[in-house]
Amino acid sequence: MVDFKMMRELHHQSNTKIVLLVLDGVGGLPIEPGGPTELEAAHTPNLDRLATEGMLGLINPIRPGITPGSGPGHLALFGYDPIKYGVGRGVLEASGIGMEVAIGDVAARGNFCTLDAKGMIIDRRAGRLSSDRAIPLVELMSEIQLFGVEIETRHVRDYRFAVVMRGEGLEPDIDDTDPQQTGVPPHPARALTDSAKKTAGFFNAWISQAQSKIADNPKANAITLRGFSTDPNLPQFPEIYGTRAVCVAGYPMYRGVSRLVGMQVHDFEGDRPEDEFRASADIWDNFDFFFIHIKKIDSMGEDGNFEGKVKVIETLDVALPTLLDLNPDVVCVTGDHSTPARLRTHSWHPVPTLLWAPATALADNQIAYGERACAQGSLGIFPATDLMPLMMAHANRLAKYGA
């Protein structure tokens, strides 16, 4: 874990630019014994050049053996001990779409779902309801008013939305209403502490009104809520590291975690790596630290699509010169966790990591960016929270400690 006090004392200004390029879920496994991983199978001449010139290693985002969720995985990359600094999913989702969640507010993430005639869930995502169908439903729900609390409801993406309640005496210690299975009804919002009972009551009243407003919809006739949480009041990244930091990410949740640590969040068009790199170019002079997030690698992993994951990595590699042409001083390529297509889910496997910094890196003898090359790299296996000080140092942004 990063010593924030030390960072605040040692950081100094420099004209250098740092890029943290997060390939979500990049780590993988062979489909069959003896084969390559997704990353090893991909043709990636640009990443391999960075690997040849830079240093490789493996990071543990949380602890060895622990599979990271996306929130904790990103907090670790930003240098925050993800066990000390917990962030709820509701807050991540809401702040990701620009909703304000102040200390004392309670945010929840919502899903549209489908109930049968008996009130049992038959589809937890309402057939992956599309955004154009979800938006009018969210508009209906946003008309709901309750005495004693202010409510904001916004659509996020597809079948997902966020609800934020603001008022006196609200507490987020409420269990998810999503039972995480079909064939059973949604749970009510259940307070986990006495002081959260009032808040749970507000949410249950809201759920009841919301469901009566959408009851006639053939697919999305009910909702579930989860990740009840409030602003975690995190130390602020720009102040800790003395950088002007920006997030270039398309997905709400990564924008959310960036906003919570105090990064600027950049809006841009398109969702390909090329679009994100062009967007970074547009604001290159305005920031020192660029967190660029590539989502679809993880999505392919979660779909169990080995070849698809290879292709997205290759697309990223083709686009990479657009980023490198900006002449960054430090580029760190890593992930917030592994998502082997073979496992179809996040995993605990340490994440292949590349640190490129032509001015100060000592190249190891590895010539490709891949899991087994990284296991042999000169950075070793280390906690993800060590990356920020390393990036800062290679960007000439940290003073000597002691005389």
Distances from the Cα of 241 to the Cαs of 14, 212, 254, 289, 330, in angstroms?
Answer: 12, 49, 19, 10, 15
Nearby residues of 15 by Cβ (< 8 Å), 6 or more positions away: none
Residue number with CB closer to its own copies (60 or 114) = 60
> CA 347 to CA 38: how far, in whole Å?
14
- Closest approach of Cβ 144 to its own copies, in Å? 25
Neighbours of 1 (CB within 10 A): 15
Residues that bind its own copies (CB under 8 A): 3, 6, 10, 29-30, 33-34, 37, 53, 58, 62-73, 82-83, 86-89, 92, 227, 343, 345-349, 358, 360, 362-365, 371-372, 375-382, 386, 388-393, 398-403
DSSP conformational letter for 195: G
> CA 32 to CA 30: how far, in whole Å?
5
- Check if the beta carbon of residue 8 is closer than 8 Å to that of residue 240: yes
230-253 residues labelled b (16+ CB within 10 A) or e (exposed): bbbebeebbebbbbebbbbbbbbb
Residue number with CB closer to its own copies (205 or 381) = 381
Which helix (DSSP H) or strand (DSSP E) does residue 38 occupy?
A: helix 38-41
Phi, psi (degrees; rounded to nearest 5) at 257 = -65, -35
**For 393, what's the count of Cα atoms within 13 Å in the CB-facing half-sphere?**
11
Q: Which two tokens stand for residue 107?
A: 């945010």
Which helix (DSSP H) or strand (DSSP E) does residue 228 occupy?
A: strand 222-229
Residue number with CB closer to its own copies (147 or 401) = 401
- Which one, of 77, 66, 67, lies nearest residue 20 by Cα? 77
- Closest approach of Cβ 118 to its own copies, in Å? 29
- Closest approach of Cβ 10 to its own copies, in Å? 7
- Closest approach of Cβ 216 to its own copies, in Å? 31
Q: Which two tokens stand for residue 58?
A: 């493996």
> CA 308 to CA 129: how far, in whole Å?
23
Distances from the Cα of 384 to the Cαs of 96, 293, 334, 375, in angstroms?
Answer: 23, 16, 9, 15
> CA 98 to CA 92: how far, in whole Å?
10
| Type of residue at 212 | S
Distances from the Cα of 340 to the Cαs of 8, 29, 48, 62, 370, in angstroms?
Answer: 37, 5, 20, 18, 13
The string of DSSP codes covering 354-396 is EEE-TTT----S--S-SHHHHHTSTTEEEEGGGHHHHHHHHTT
